[in-house]
Structure 1
Amino acid sequence: MNISTNHDQRIQVPDLHKLTISEAERKLKELDLDFKVLDSASYNPDYPKRSVIEQTPDGGDFVKEKRKIYLTLNPSKYADKTIPNLNGRTKRQAISELKAIGFIVGTNYTYVKDIGKDVVRGLRHKGKILNENDKLPKNSIIELVLGDGNE
């Protein structure tokens, strides 16, 4: 019986972090390794868009030829988040909710004539008025429009 298990053959997996998918594919093919792209990463601004953000097995591990390396790619941007209806909420409530969703709350508040002091009367992003259910990428800066307490 001639059975081959490649028992002693070991290939060191290269570190593929921050490589594009085509660069990673070229490196793996040179080593006779296969790959599969997994689909479940959160955007990481420290990595180039659509580059390898995670791999299994890790770079430096040893595997047999034809072993499949699982790659997770960095999305091209943060996931979009939905703007909630914050009209009538206090400034503190609005800031907490927006931060919990993943937005950054700016500190340049706009005040409008309203009986309620620091009550949310609108939201803006880059000067544009936001409406409930609009979508913005996570980490977008949202400015609050607040009542001045003087009617």
Structure 2
Amino acid sequence: MKQFLSFLKSRVFLIQLGLALVVLILFVFLALKWLKSSTNHGEFVEVPDFSKMSVMDMRKAVEDAGLRYQVLDSSNYNPDYPRFSILDQNPPAGNKVKANRKIYFTVNPSGYKKVTVPDIVQVTQRNASSMLRAVGLDVQRVTYIDELGRDMVYRMKYKGKHIKPGDKLPKTSKIELICGNGKIPGSARVQADSE
């Protein structure tokens, strides 16, 4: 133990320790200089506002700003924005970012997504309306025909054409319901006089 303590106090050890500290300080200094130059420390690009811009215009603006981009999945259709325009961006406009930073965009699709028409045949008009609203469809009007089930849905129409359960329609489409009025159809009436 005495030899170890005397070595720690020796001139050779102190010179080695001093050299190690000088090399360490020099290494840290050079590493920080290299990082500053390679990461463009203090150099920023302001992110432009891309909202409502078309995808083609956005591509050019991103390249002009020295940035990169990635288009994320399109979100739900927003009728307040043009088709195929930018709905959202991350990072937001006005943020300062490094050159060549990737900007993430959400694009407005060309229209509402398609939804499946639920099976509302032989369901009451009230329940059918609720089921249609649940999937994003609306009732445009209700037409009554001579059928025994009062307010029972017998058929559906979209833009004048008959549709069936399972068909795909754009979300927010308006459907015409054809329901019974509670009267027995003419061909099924039994005449009391016929006896």
* Category of TM-score, reference length = shorter chain: over 0.9
1:88 to 97, 115, 122: 122
Amino acid at match of 1:54: D
Matched length: 150
- Gaps of at least 5 residues in structure 1 are none
* More contact order relative to length (CA 8 Å, sep ≥ 6): 1
Q: Secondary structure at the match of 1:27?
A: helix
Tell me what 1:139 maps to: 172
Deviations 1:35-67 (A, max 9, x none): 011114111111111111111001111111000
User: In the alignment, does 2:140 pair up with 1:101?
Assistant: no
Structure having the higher strand fraction is: 1
1:35 to 69, 78, 82: 69
User: In the alignment, does 2:53 pair up with 1:19?
Assistant: yes
User: In the alignment, does 2:99 pair up with 1:65?
Assistant: yes
Q: What is the rounded CA distance, in whole Å, between the counterparts of 1:56 and 1:40 in structure 2?
A: 14
Q: What is the rounded CA distance, in whole Å, between the counterparts of 1:139 and 1:57 in structure 2?
A: 31
Q: Secondary structure at the match of 2:70?
A: strand
TM-score after normalising by structure 2? 0.74
Q: Secondary structure at the match of 1:132?
A: coil
Tell me what 1:129 maps to: 162
Deviations 1:102-135 (A, max 9, x none): 01211x3111111111110111111110111111
Could you list the runs of 4 or more consecutive aligned residues of structure 1 that deviate by over 2 angstroms after TM superposition?
Answer: none
User: In the alignment, does 2:189 pair up with 1:119?
Assistant: no
Amino acid at match of 2:130: S
Deviations 1:84-107 (A, max 9, x none): 11111111100000001001211x
- Gaps of at least 5 residues in structure 2 are 1-29, 185-195
Amino acid at match of 1:130: I
TM-score after normalising by structure 1? 0.95
